[in-house]
Amino acid sequence: MNIVKGPTLTATLGTGHSPSRKLDRDLADIVLNNLENQQDWTDMRVHGEHNDCSDGRDDVPTQRHPRTLLSGLPPRRMYIHPDEQIAIMRAERALGHGGRIPQPPEYEWVLPVHLGETPTVGEFAAIFDSIDALPRAIDGETDTTATSADDNDWKAWRGARRGKRLLLAVVQDDSSVVYYFMHDGIVKPRQN
């Protein structure tokens, strides 16, 4: 019995530059499947270059992106800014009796890429220029741009006040996915 294989993602990429629209969507489908079924993300949406996807999960048609992006809500908070981490520890110490400050998840942007791609800094800059800090707010959450005087310091890194970031989803030929955070601009390193 002979098995005929189709072209691999690497063969389809060819030169290693940005993928075609179909391959871009195929990468997004692989990552979407991984996030929903293996990483337990919810409320996933596809944000396409032309918003021509047929699965009904597309974003506002007026929003354009250089690449297909995903957004969704992870099961737990994915990233805490180093300064926020310090402020949270101080606030929890002030609460006493082992009090904890809740860390609800926030919506995250996800950029699917193939391991064989060689994106440029300019391409990443164009993607960051096309997004807001948050893909969308959690229902019932109000977000102001400035913190009031009675707010705790740790609230300065929540919601739309956080810097722009996305989760870079790197897909290998075997459909395994590895995730890395990418920030717009310089972010001080975390201390473990």
Lowest-pLDDT choice from 89-98, 117-126, 167-176: 89-98
pLDDT at 11 over 50: no
CA dist 44 and 20 (Å) reads: 22
Do strands 177-183 and 42-47 pair parallel, antiparallel, or not at all (unpaired)? unpaired
Reading phi first (left if > 0) and then psi (alpha if -120 to 50, else beta), residue 98 is in: left
pLDDT, tens digit, 9 for 90 and up, residues 38-69: 999 999 999 986 544 444 455 445 467 899 99
Tell me the two tokens of residue 130: 């096309």
pLDDT, tens digit, 9 for 90 and up, residues 145-189: 344 434 566 566 666 677 899 999 999 999 999 999 999 988 777
Classify domain 9-51+63-183 by CATH architecture: 3-Layer(aba) Sandwich (3.40)
Higher per-residue pLDDT: 123 or 162: 123
- The residue type at 126: A
CA dist 174 and 53 (Å) reads: 24
Single out the residue of 51, 44, 49, 52 nearest to residue 70, CA to CA.
Answer: 44
CA dist 56 and 4 (Å) reads: 33
CA dist 65 and 173 (Å) reads: 25
pLDDT at 73 over 90: yes
